[in-house]
Amino acid sequence: MQRIAIIGISGSGKTTFAHALQRATGLPLYHADQLFWRGSWQPVPAVQYLKSHAEWVSRDRWIIEGFVDLSLAQRLKRADLIIYLASPPWVCAGRVVKRWLAHRKNARPELPAEALERLHLQFLWVVLSGAERPSIEAALRQAPKAMVQRLTTTQDQVDFIHGLVAEVKPSLM
């Protein structure tokens, strides 16, 4: 596995899981939020972020974590493995609130320093209702040959990383 896409709705744990996977594999890690945002939540024009995304995807080795829809489906077509963090929406909404509490005064490391977390009820409803899932599922249908691993609980995520580490260790000896 040289190219791994980590996808899921907001608050599904993509960034946290991606860091653990990066430590286990040594693959370069890219955060899609870095493509979409600059400054204080100022969106990057679509043409620009799609060009940057295509450049990342063209590389030979990567972990790319972040939201995906049809415009970004080439990431899934090129991935050797797609990890879909499919946590229940209520879990994701709780994580969104927790993230807001942790980062309302200092930005997450993968975002510009000025991008402090904000909590909007409309966004929380998008997460709770699972409104992002149809876009993700549509993108997944564009990559029928890729191996997709759906992880629905935090324990699934932990078990996946532990299993990967157990596979990698014998090959290093």
* pLDDT value for 172: 47
Label residue 173 by pLDDT band (50, 70, 90). Answer: very low
Q: 3-88+131-160 has which fold?
A: Rossmann fold (3.40.50)
* Contact status, residue 61 vs residue 25, Cβ threshold 8 Å: no
pTM of the complete model = 0.90
pLDDT by residue (tens digit) across 44-98?
A: 899 999 999 999 999 999 999 998 999 899 999 999 999 999 999 999 999 999 9
The region of weakest confidence among 4-8, 41-45, 160-164, 165-169 is: 165-169
Instruction: Give the distance from CA 137 to its chain's centroid.
Output: 14
Element (H, E) at 85: strand 81-85
Report the distance separating Cα 102 and Cα 106, nearest Å.
8
Identify the residue with better confidence: 12 or 118: 12
% of the chain with per-residue pLDDT over 90: 66
pLDDT by residue (tens digit) across 109-118?
A: 787 777 777 8
Is it the case that residue 151 has pLDDT exceeding 80? yes
Buried b (16+ CB within 10 A) or exposed e, 7-22: bbbbbbbbbebbbbbb
| Cα atoms in the 13 Å half-sphere on the side-chain side of 63 | 20
* pLDDT value for 166: 78
Instruction: Give the distance from CA 120 to its chain's centroid.
Output: 21
* Contact status, residue 128 vs residue 93, Cβ threshold 8 Å: yes
* pLDDT value for 169: 54
* Contact status, residue 115 vs residue 37, Cβ threshold 8 Å: yes
Label residue 168 by pLDDT band (50, 70, 90). Answer: low
Helix, strand, coil content of the chain in percent (nearest 5): 50, 15, 35
In the chain, domain spans = 3-88+131-160
* pLDDT value for 60: 97
- What are the structure tokens assigned to 74, written together? 């080439």
- What are the structure tokens assigned to 36, written together? 């979409």
Which among 136, 41, 43, 21 has a CA at the least distance from the CA of 89?
136
% of the chain with per-residue pLDDT over 70: 97
* pLDDT value for 141: 92
User: Quick count: other Cβ atoms within 10 Å of Cβ 36?
Assistant: 19
Average pLDDT, whole number, for the chain?
Answer: 89
The region of weakest confidence among 16-20, 99-103, 131-135, 154-158 is: 99-103
